[in-house]
């Protein structure tokens, strides 16, 4: 299992910091896959619901 995690970390590192895949995807207008699920805009504040009320 440790070898698998190490291999995954190496692939991710190469993708982001050597090949710059997220940057290239953004330049080409493709989804970078870096935003959290359901967030339309990174700059929009997240809203949490606590006992039925909305707060920021």
33/22 Cα distance (integer angstroms): 8
* Tally of domains in the chain: 1
In a domain, 54, yes or no: no
3/10 Cα distance (integer angstroms): 11
- Residue pLDDT, tens place only, 29-50: 999 887 765 555 556 666 666 6
pLDDT of 1:
85
pLDDT of 44:
62
Quick one: average pLDDT of 11-33?
A: 91
Residue range(s) defining the domain that contains residue 5: 1-30
In a domain, 43, yes or no: no
14/3 Cα distance (integer angstroms): 17
In a domain, 55, yes or no: no
Question: Residue 52 has what DSSP assignment?
Answer: T
In a domain, 6, yes or no: yes
Look at 13 and 51; give whichever has higher pLDDT: 13
In a domain, 12, yes or no: yes
In a domain, 45, yes or no: no
pLDDT of 20:
92
Quick one: average pLDDT of 8-30?
A: 92
In a domain, 14, yes or no: yes
């Amino acid at each position: 299992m440790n070898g698998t995690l190490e291999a995954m970390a190496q692939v991710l590192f190469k993708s982001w910091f050597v090949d710059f895949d997220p940057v290239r995807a953004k330049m080409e207008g493709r989804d970078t896959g870096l935003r959290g699920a359901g967030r339309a805009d990174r700059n929009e504040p997240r809203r949490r619901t606590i006992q039925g009320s909305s707060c920021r």
